[in-house]
Structure formats: structure tokens, C-alpha cells
Chains A and B, each alone.
Chain A
Amino acid sequence: AQSVTQLDSQVPVFEEAPVELRCNYSSSVSVYLFWYVQYPNQGLQLLLKYLSGSTLVKGINGFEAEFNKSQTSFHLRKPSVHISDTAEYFCAVTGGSNYKLTFGKGTLLTVNP
């Protein structure tokens, strides 16, 4: 079984500031990791995913994440946020014979002017 912990339920930042959203996972098997974003009244959109290879993964809208196997983490970063980045961000994992996505509780990113 896998589990995901998103350490911050809310992260307020000012526009053009850098941001890091933290995600830790637990699994007894090799995992695949995902970050999704959900804008108000919408479904989830994939930002990026880690399958294998380079531990630094670049995604859409200027986001990137780094897979750290020893720390079982997959933190999401953006060097400079915009008002339009205000949304809820979900970290998710699959692995083993389990094709379902196991999600964290989400982090609400609020970008203030």
C-alpha cells in the first residue's frame, strides 16, 4: 500500500516570489509520482510526473519537482509565481500492481498581489 503526505494544507505567497509545495510518500515498492493542479470548479490537470531517470522533472507552467528516493520526497517548486497559480495542488503516487492514484490531502496555494 502507498500513502502520500502533503505537509502544508495552505501556502500563502506574494506574486513573483518562489514557492515550494512539499510532498512525502510511503511505499514498499517502486513508485511513480505525480503532481496535479485543481482550479476552482474544475477537474484535475497534470502538472508533471516522475517515472524514472533524471530526478528533476520539469512540467507545465514553469513548475518543476525533484524526486528524492532517500528522503521519499517529491517537492514541487516554482521560482516565481503568478496570481493565476492560485489553486489546489495534489501530489499522487502509483506503484506495484496498483494502478490507482493515491492522493495527498492537497495544498491550497494562494498568490497575493
Chain B
Amino acid sequence: KAGVTQTPRYLIKTRGQQVTLSCSPISGHRSVSWYQQTPGQGLQFLFEYFSETQRNKGNFPGRFSGRQFSNSRSEMNVSTLELGDSALYLCASSSVRGLGETQYFGPGTRLLVL
């Protein structure tokens, strides 16, 4: 079974631009979560989607948004990019939504904002 895939793997943008990142979960998985990883803040939760609905949102500004499609694929969008948005963005999927469920992570998209 293929793992979680994320595209693109690397991205360079300039301040003020917007970016869309894509995540395809493991086949059959319906829950998708996004995390931001930076050297300073570590791993921080962005949002969680299940059945095309956002179920949980982390403490990030409204410039960060996402969505989930009927095939469980998910996208996240960051508008008006800032230098501080440079990070590794990780997507994780799980088969169901529940405490204790294993989240399987993709390789991430590394975003550099210049």
C-alpha cells in the first residue's frame, strides 16, 4: 500500500505570494491532519479534516486554510506569505478519527519564503 504522498516536495516563494500544498492520504484513510515544523517552534498542529469537514484547527492566522475532497485528498493554502512561514509542512493520515489512532506521515513539503 502506498504511503502518504505530498506535492511538491520543495517550493520557493517570495513574500506576499500564496501557495497551495497537496496531500494524498493512504488509500482508505479518511482523516488528514497538517503540521508545521520549524527549528524554533518545533511541530505544531495546523488543522484536521475528516469527511471533507474541518474538525479541529490550531492556533494559526486566517492566512492558513485548507480543504478536503471527497476522495480524502487534502490541500492547504497559505496566502500573503511571510518569511516566518518558511517551514516543513507535514501531512498525516489515519484510517479513522479517534484518540490513539496512528497517524502516518508523509515526507513533507519544504517551503522557503524569500
Residues of A that sit less than 8 Å from B by CB: 32, 34, 36, 41-46, 49, 51, 90, 92, 94-95, 98-106
Q: Which residues of A contact B98 (CB under 8 A)?
A: 99
Q: Are A32 and B100 in contact (CB under 8 A)?
A: yes
Residues of B that sit less than 8 Å from A by CB: 4, 31, 33, 35, 42-45, 48, 55-56, 58, 90, 92, 97-108
Q: Are A103 and B42 in contact (CB under 8 A)?
A: yes
- Bound Cα distance A98, B104 (Å): 17
- Bound Cα distance A101, B105 (Å): 12
Q: Are B105 and A43 in contact (CB under 8 A)?
A: yes
- Bound Cα distance A101, B44 (Å): 9
> Closest Cβ of chain B: how far from A27's Cβ, in Å?
12
Q: A42-B107, A106-B42 are in contact. Are A100 and B58 (CB under 8 A)?
A: yes
